[in-house]
């Protein structure tokens, strides 16, 4: 843990693996026996489980998913939000009662709002119009103000709005795309968690996508040094092949100057904004990945759906995208290979998105047949409800 984090009274303390009840949950013992009381919800961030795919992996390949939706606000971004706020406090940039601001497609805003609530800050989030409405509601539930920016302004618009608000009101901007606190936290938590979970075991491939690039740059750096034999596979939406294009990002200092020319909108929320973030570029400059693999929205959505229905792994579109790329990797890997894919957030955050387009609220034909197969309590379309037969 970075020294600065241990310097305050109520600083975040990592929970040891043995004491973390999450790991007890995966055992067959009664999880309540190992129940533990936390000082703060922030103490439950990280230490996410790694789960083996039981049905989707091809024969002879072991596939695992690291489930970041086990974080308290159900995404990998809880790590980033905690890191930014703790580092800013330690540097004397913020004190409780101040306002913290971020531009976000959702998960970061939810995480920042949670950390703000837990540590006594006000929170303002800017968010572009197309992102799912339930995310806005969750942030407001956590006490944040959500400022919605026009769709035409893309990701850049919401970032510019956040910067402008901070300049005008003297608020603190989290700068998830530029801050060193982002990859640093993944280097001190996510990466070491993977090393520990695969200590003494094979790990041939680690698959991740990128939003800010914090997971890739931070955990990737640690894996590269400690497990040089592990191939790092970086996934990118086919519709937004920013890295694949080879075109450099124009910057003003750490922030981006213009939208990247290779960007077109894609539904893999949380992944690949319309620019190459500075945090990501540091990982790219260090040549962390061995392969860059494109993935389509259809592959992402169908794989997220399969993970839910066939494995009970309830991850969002980006988790589906990462596992889709892990499956492509598995298809050409030698027998006996071990693959780990990151699942950044929960499926539940996507109820109003294309992920749920084919999921109906009403009963389908098959369900109606089941309903009719016994006489009582039938609710059939166009017919009077039947109670007891």
Ligand X SMILES: Cc1ncc(COP(=O)(O)O)c(C=O)c1O
Residues that bind ligand X (CB under 6 A): 75-77, 107, 209-216, 269-271, 316, 318, 344-345
Residue from 366, 389, 371, 14 nearest 185 by CA: 14
Cα distance between residue 11 and residue 87, in whole Å: 10
Cα distance between residue 205 and residue 329, in whole Å: 8
Q: How far is the CB of 71 from ligand X (least distance, A)?
A: 11
Q: How far is the CB of 215 from ligand X (least distance, A)?
A: 3
Q: How far is the CB of 209 from ligand X (least distance, A)?
A: 5
Cα three-residue angle 184-321-61, rounded to 5 degrees: 95
Q: How many CB atoms lie within 10 A of CB 58?
A: 13
Q: Residue 351, Cα to own-chain centre: how many angstroms?
A: 16
133 neighbors 92 (Cβ within 8 angstroms): no
Q: How far is the CB of 107 from ligand X (least distance, A)?
A: 4
178 neighbors 279 (Cβ within 8 angstroms): yes
Q: How far is the CB of 214 from ligand X (least distance, A)?
A: 4
Cα distance between residue 75 and residue 63, in whole Å: 21
Q: Are strands 255-256 and 122-128 parallel, antiparallel or unpaired?
A: unpaired
Q: How many CB atoms lie within 10 A of CB 112?
A: 31
Cα distance between residue 351 and residue 365, in whole Å: 22
Catalytic, out of 66, 74, 75, 77: 77
Q: How far is the CB of 11 from ligand X (least distance, A)?
A: 23
77 belongs to the catalytic site: yes
End-to-end, the C-alpha distance of the chain in Å comes to 65
Cα distance between residue 299 and residue 304, in whole Å: 8
Cα distance between residue 11 and residue 40, in whole Å: 10
Catalytic, out of 132, 318, 337, 347: 318
Tokens 């580092």 belong to which residue? 87
Q: How far is the CB of 344 from ligand X (least distance, A)?
A: 3
279 neighbors 182 (Cβ within 8 angstroms): yes
Q: How many CB atoms lie within 10 A of CB 155?
A: 23
Q: Residue 312, Cα to own-chain centre: how many angstroms?
A: 18
Residue of minimal Cβ distance to ligand X? 211
Between 213 and 237, CB nearer to ligand X: 213
318 belongs to the catalytic site: yes
Cα distance between residue 365 and residue 354, in whole Å: 22
Which residues are marked as active site?
77, 318
């Amino acid at each position: 843990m970075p020294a600065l984090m241990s310097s305050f009274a109520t600083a975040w303390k990592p929970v040891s693996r043995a004491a973390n009840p999450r790991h007890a949950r995966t055992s067959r013992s009664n999880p309540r026996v190992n129940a533990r009381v936390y000082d703060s919800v922030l103490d439950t961030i990280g230490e996410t489980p790694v789960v083996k795919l039981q049905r989707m992996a091809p024969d002879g390949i072991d596939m695992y998913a690291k489930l970041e939706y086990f974080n308290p606000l159900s995404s990998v971004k809880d790590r980033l939000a905690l890191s930014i706020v703790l580092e800013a406090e330690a540097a004397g940039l913020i004190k409780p009662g101040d306002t913290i601001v971020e531009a976000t497609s959702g998960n970061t805003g939810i995480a920042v709002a949670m950390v703000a609530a837990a540590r006594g800050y006000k929170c303002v989030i800017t968010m572009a119009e197309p992102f799912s409405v339930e995310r806005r509601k969750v942030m407001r539930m956590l006490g944040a103000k959500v400022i919605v920016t026009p769709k035409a302004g893309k990701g850049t618009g919401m970032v510019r709005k956040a910067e402008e608000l901070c300049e005008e009101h003297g608020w603190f901007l989290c700068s998830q795309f530029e801050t060193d606190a982002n990859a640093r936290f993944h280097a001190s938590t996510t990466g070491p968690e993977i090393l520990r979970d695969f200590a003494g075991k094979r790990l041939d491939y680690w698959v991740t996508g990128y939003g800010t690039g914090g997971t890739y740059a931070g955990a990737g750096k640690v894996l590269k040094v400690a497990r040089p034999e592990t191939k790092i596979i970086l996934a990118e939406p086919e519709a937004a092949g920013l890295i694949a294009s080879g075109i450099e990002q124009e910057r003003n200092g750490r922030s981006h100057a213009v939208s990247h020319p290779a960007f077109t909108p894609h539904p893999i929320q949380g992944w690949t904004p319309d620019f190459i973030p500075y945090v990501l570029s540091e990982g790219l400059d260090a040549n962390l990945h061995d392969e860059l693999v494109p993935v389509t929205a259809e592959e992402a959505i169908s794989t997220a759906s399969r993970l839910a229905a066939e494995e009970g792994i309830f991850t969002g579109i980006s988790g589906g995208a990462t596992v889709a790329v892990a499956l492509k990797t598995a298809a050409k890997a030698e027998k006996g290979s071990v693959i780990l894919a990151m699942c950044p957030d929960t499926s539940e955050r996507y109820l109003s998105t294309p992920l749920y387009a084919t999921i109906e609220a009403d009963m389908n034909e098959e369900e109606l047949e089941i309903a009719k197969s016994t006489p009582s309590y039938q609710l059939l379309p166009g017919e009077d409800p039947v109670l007891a037969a």
